[in-house]
Structure 1
Amino acid sequence: MSDRLASWQFNTVGCWSDDLVASSGSQLLAATPTAALGASFRLHRRDQVFPDVFDPEFSAHIRASANLRCRHRRNDPGLLGTFIDNELYWSPDWRGTDELLTLFLNLPSRRPGKVAALSSLQAHYRDFAHFNAVWRTQARSWEELGRIEHVVAPFVRLRPGVLNDALETKANLADPAREAFSADCDAFVAVVADKYFELCVSAIRAADPNHLVLGSRFGYQPPAGVIAAAGRHLDVISFNCYEFDPGPAIDAYAATGKPCLISEFSFRGDDAGLPNTKGAGPRLATQLDRALAFEGYVAAALSKPNLVGYHWFEHADQPAQGRFDGEDSNFGMVTIDDRVYHELTKTMTQVNAAAERIHAAAVPALV
């Protein structure tokens, strides 16, 4: 498999790939594993959608995890870098409409994250009545708010993105209370992001100072404050993007000035005989359409100066019966019984071989 990937002009294996694939061929492929630091702490606590970065145990946990997952590869020439996590929940997206601020407000009593969320609101508002004019809770004091088991957000926001951001701005201009709520949520998630990236990057670098920290594989574009925090701490900002054109997403992350890595993208063909009912990304009619979509996507990505790489999802198709999470789609370069999709892999070979030339031609030379 390694030699075949190299023949298709791939030079890296993406997240969750088998290390033996990276090192077993005649040409070494760079590895990009994940440390899953925040995710492992969230599972450790079991009552958190997002890891409580204010919990004193968080720092100790991720340092121990980084030592376990990263230290043994600190001198590995085949390692490109390490992802911190995968698709954490930063703001409303396909998984729900909750804000990170309300999730932290609804943590169990006296949890550090709940205390931090309450403190951020108390520091901002002159008094409780001013706060409650915006949030419209049933509480009558800060103390009573801290005892409420489930704080309901007074507004539901769209997930971040160019078009949605414009709609949110319009809605906020029409309603000062909504604007204040949005500002509360954005301010808090920015603080959480800064603490998350600072602690996680520090933990990985303490265990492995010799390789890149590749980000946390954003599932969707997060709020601007999260992107800014990522830019302050990461070597590379990674994100998954299942659109036809990755340009707007790259622009959003490139505003930090940091290199950008597309850590996951794909297209599915309905002629593969698979259900294609679960899984991200566009469904297309044929394998030729998949090949053309790959070519257009990568060309658009390579036109961006900050782009340093792109990872395709995935090598082989998913089973028709569904994998562990039910995904049953034609994401592969080969079928589940290893028959090659020739239109797709031929196009991949040509585009990958020309990638550096395409990128250099599209990016203005520095003078």
Structure 2
Amino acid sequence: MTFNKMFKKSAIALLLSLGACSADKQANLANTPLAKDDNVLQLLENFDGEQPALAFSLNGVESQIKTHVGSTNNALALSFNPQEQQAKISFKPAQAWDWSSYKEINFAFDASNPGTESIQLYISIANEAGEVSHQSINIAAGEQGTYYLLLDGEALDTDMGFKKSGMPAWQSTDEMAFFRYGSPKIDLHKVSEIGLYIKGNLSEKSLELDNLRLRANPSYDISYRQAYVDRFGQNDKMEFPIKIHSEAELKQEADKELAQLNQSGLMPDRSRFGGWKDGPRSKATGYFRTEKVNGKWWMVDPDGYLFFSHGLANVRMANLTTLTGVDFKDDSVRYIDPEAVTPEDSMGIVQVSDEVRKSRYIASDVRHDMFTWLPDYKDELAEHYSYRRSVLFGPVSSGETYSFYRANLERRYGQQAPESYVKKWEEVTLARFQDWGFTSMGNWVDPAFYTNEKVPYFANGWIIGDYKTLASKHDVWAPMPDAFDPEFVRRAQITIDTIANEVHNSPWCVGVFVDNEKSWGLREGSVEHRYGLILDAMAKNAQQSPAKAAFTKQLQSKYQTIAALNQAWQTQFASWQTLANGVSLSDFPQAMISDLSHMLEMLSEQYFKVVHDALAKAMPQHLYMGARMANWGMPEETIKASVKYSDVLSFNIYEEGIQPKAWAFLQDIDLPTVIGEYHIGASRETGLYHPGLVQADGQADRAQMYLDYMQSVLASPNMVGAHWFQYVDSPISGRAFDGENYNVGFVSTTDIPYPEMVEAAKKFNATVYPRRYNDNK
């Protein structure tokens, strides 16, 4: 490309020309390469005019107009600043677009990546009502193509019970975006903004953009969603490098790996607990602990060796089943014990009786038609059927499930005794961890590994039960527990006592994670999204809400009189009783915001204190690893509370890495920190349609991005480890609970390791300790 004209600006928001885009197809498309494309409904912008047709603003992005070599057609060249947590370009029409009369449509654009690294590009479509759909694509280094996201149509509306973005609905060389968050489908009456952005990047990314347009969808082909899962749980419609075609081939691959693992063991610089045997030795206490050495936080293993916790999370089979579309009319199969301590997502195979199976029926043809094979109930592989009593979303609310992964283990290793293949899987998994150089198993390891004395692990538990809850404006998994409720305190102790009984005071247990990704509220944004939990509590009656009672008491102590509160909050409550009965707050003066912030910290402190005290009582020798906060649920108030009661902070961060600017706050906290979850996936070369939350171009790119992420972890003086989520790929048809169908495993659903990932792990882990100790050198 050669330069034509330049609009080069810094990260300051810049507003360019306010021309409106005509809806006249001929006027828009004349003399463009798209003129003969019958699917184009509106050309929104092609950057060929004297001034851009659409106003756009920049934040953390530099832009310039370029002309294609040998052509008069222009493109917009963008450079995204990695110092910004989110670098974005926003396109806005002079008047909101009304696309509501169109059916079966998508938004498309052409793009090329002139750089040497792939780009995960996010696309947002927003309307004036505040609805936003956030989606993303990956553009490989040197790649150019057409990318699109669905706005309306059968492919978007059909609920298949899994993350179906990326699954083809028609034959096309164009690439479809993956839904990320917000609203999968928005009202198209008044579309007000199109955004393109990157977030959490470690290096500068460049992009050339052209031909933003609205298109008609091709005809929906229902055959794409039918009979695509083969007998091994793989994609029956495509080939890929590690695909298994027969049971003999599966057994052959297993035997080859077993022979290799028999020749391997711990890396030579490791202590028996996986610590740094060749490094400086500290005090041995018989259990894992933390210590700051030369300005960096470390864990210390029971024998006194410095320890960096790196491994895979979710080493279990509990949540690898997929819904078959079958259910049973007999309600007894859906009974839930109110005193149970194990949530359904952590349960193993749930056997369904022959009597219950007599009430079998097809609850979802969409689900049932996905499979080319499911075993007869009399088949020897029928023992891998299970049952799910509730799901997060999908075409069914409960139903029969099947574990292809478990069935493949039986095919690999045979069954010499009841479930002997499970024992073999445990042995192979431990051997893999040692061979690949991992030092620990992360959260959600199967309790069967708690007695192993080869690889340290983290125990885990959920506090479930019939306690009071609070709802935020951003409840991702479930409402928050009311930590002031005595029932929550009781259930917390029951959960942790159960963990203690499973761990048996083992020194191989590094620490304990309790709960996961709670919806505390956003770190930034509106008052409603930051303090939704507290606003929900304020709307409740103090007699029914322990949290509301605690907050009312605190406000009375601070303000003494209702008049003083009214003056500060600019309200007109008649009495303290009026407040206690429940109030709806919509205007937020600064004094009120300060109080909402304090109450969120109160709630957070109560939660962490309850868990801390229960652990101190039952497991005083083991580290409390915190609550694994997601980046959408880590407000400052909650982090502050966690610091008071956690031995180690934990965050689940699904980005390209630990961006120094975004995580600089850890230096002020000065507490050891672990990444509880991260991953990178790819839809190419796997047979899986969805890559996961962070997207690579392919397996080689995925491996390099894994290395880059871990390098960023090593560079942080607070980080004492990071755990990849997860050990095994999700089912291609979606895990039963929430439909995750990601390529995020180190092994496939046939238990075949991804060679690129294994090679990268061995490379990183071989020198992790000296590089961590010597400033990543």
TM band (smaller chain):
0.7 to 0.9
Aligned to 1:167: none
Structure 2 residue aligned with 1:191? 602
User: How far 1:67 moved relative to its partner?
Assistant: 1.6
What amino acid is aligned across from residue 773 of structure 2 in structure 1?
A: A
Structure 2 equivalent of residue 30 of structure 1: 456
Report what 2:725 is aligned to.
313
Measured after TM superposition, the shift of residue 314 of structure 1 is: 0.5
- The equivalent residue for 1:239 is 651
CA distance in 1, matches of 2:551, 2:769: 46
Question: What are the superposed Cα offsets for residues 79-132 of structure 1, whole Å, 9 maximum, x if unpaired?
Answer: 1111122111211379x9352211322345412211112233344457546655
Counterparts of 1:86 and 1:216, CA distance in 2: 6
Counterpart of 2:438, as a letter, is F
2:444 maps to 16
Deviation of 1:214 after TM superposition, in Å, equals 1.0
C-alpha distance in 2 between matches for 1:267 and 1:154:
41
Deviation at 1:9, TM superposition (A): 0.7
Q: 2:707 pairs with 295, 307, 316, which one? A: 295
The answer to whether 1:333 aligns with 2:746 is yes
Distance in 2 (alpha carbons) for counterparts of 1:290 and 1:136: 53
CA contact (8 A) 2:672 2:720 kept: yes
Aligned residues: 332
Q: Is the 8 A contact 2:451 2:503 kept in 1?
A: no
Say if 2:530 is the partner of 1:102. Answer: no
- CA gap of 1:57–1:19, structure 2 versus 1, over 3 A, is closer
* 2:595 partner letter: D
User: 2:668 aligns to what?
Assistant: 255
Label 1:140 to 1:363 Cα distance change in 2 as closer, same or farther (>3 A): farther
Aligned with 2:675: secondary structure? strand
| CA deviations over 1:148-183 (Å, ceiling 9, x no partner) | 3x724446xxxxxxxxxxxxxxxxxxxxx2x33431
1:289-314 CA-partner distances (Å, limit 9, x unpaired): 11111111110110111211110000
Equivalent positions of 1:89-238 (< 5 A) are 89-92=519-522, 97=529, 99-110=532-543, 111-125=545-559, 128=562, 131=565, 140-148=574-582, 151-154=584-587, 177=589, 179-220=590-631, 222-238=634-650
**Partner AA of 2:430 in structure 1:** S
| 8 Å Cα contact 1:71/1:207 also seen in 2 | no
Change (3 A) 1:328 1:153: farther
Query: Which one is further off, 253-262 or 320-329?
Result: 253-262
Cα drift, residue 70 of structure 1: 1.6
**Residue 760 of structure 2 is aligned with which of 347, 350, 355?**
347
Aligned counterpart, 1:163: none
Taking every aligned residue pair, what percent have the same amino acid on both sides? Answer: 29
Secondary structure of 1:268 counterpart: coil
Deviation at 1:217, TM superposition (A): 0.8
Higher helix share: 1
Please give the alpha-carbon distance, in whole angstroms, between the structure 2 residues aligned to 1:363 and 1:190.
Answer: 36
Q: Secondary structure at the match of 2:674?
A: strand
Query: Contact 2:450 / 2:503 at 8 angstroms: preserved in 1?
Result: no
**Which residue does 1:164 correspond to in 2?**
none
**Residues 227, 253 of structure 1: 8 Å contact kept:** no
* TM-score (norm: length of structure 2): 0.40
The separation in 2 between residues aligned to 1:292 and 1:134, in whole angstroms, is 54
Query: Are the counterparts in 1 of residues 450 and 502 from structure 2 also a CA contact under 8 Å?
Result: no
1:56 matches 2:467: no
| Kept in 1: contact 2:600–2:638 (CA 8 A) | yes
Query: Is the partner of 1:318 in helix, strand or coil?
Result: coil
Listed as ranges, the gaps of 5+ residues in structure 1 are 156-176
Report the Cα distance in structure 1 between the residues aligned to 2:432 and 2:731, rounded to whole angstroms: 22
3-state SS of the aligned residue for 1:269?
Answer: coil
> Quick check: 1:276 aligned with 2:710?
no
After superposition, the Cα gap between the structure-2 partners of 1:346 and 1:22, relative to the gap in structure 1 and judged at 3 Å, is: farther
Q: What's the Cα RMSD here?
A: 2.8
Residue of structure 2 in register with 1:356 after alignment:
769
Q: Is the 8 A contact 2:656 2:705 kept in 1?
A: yes
Pair 153,302 (structure 1): closer, same or farther in 2 beyond 3 Å: farther
The separation in 2 between residues aligned to 1:135 and 1:338, in whole angstroms, is: 59
Provide Cα deviations, 1:301-349, integer angstroms capped at 9, x if missing partner: 1011121111000011101111021111111111111222111221111
Q: Distance in 2 between matches of 1:354 and 1:306?
A: 19
Work out the CA distance in 2 between the residues paired with 1:223 and 1:187. 12
Residue type of the partner of 2:689? P
Aligned to 1:160: none
Structure 2 vs 1, CA of residues 338 and 52 (structure 1 numbering), >3 Å: closer, same or farther?
Answer: same
Identify the residue that residue 173 of structure 2 maps to in structure 1: none
Question: 1 CA distance for matches of 2:461 and 2:532?
Answer: 25
Task: Pick the aligned partner of 1:285 from 697, 701, 704.
Answer: 697
Q: Secondary structure at the match of 1:270?
A: coil
In the alignment, the residues of structure 2 paired with residue 152 and residue 329 of structure 1 have an alpha-carbon distance, to the nearest angstrom, of 40
Give me the whole-angstrom Cα distance separating, in 2, the residues matched to 1:240 and 1:359.
21
Q: Is residue 45 of structure 1 aligned with residue 467 of structure 2? A: yes
Where does structure 2 lack aligned partners over 5 or more consecutive residues?
A: 1-428, 471-478
2:469–2:480 Cα contact (<8 Å) kept: no
Q: In 1, Cα distance between the equivalents of 2:609 and 2:519?
A: 18
Secondary structure at 2:745 match in 1: coil
Distance 1:107 1:288, change over 3 A: farther
The structure having more radius of gyration, on CA atoms, is 2
- Paired with 1:292 and 1:129, the residues of 2 have a C-alpha distance of 61
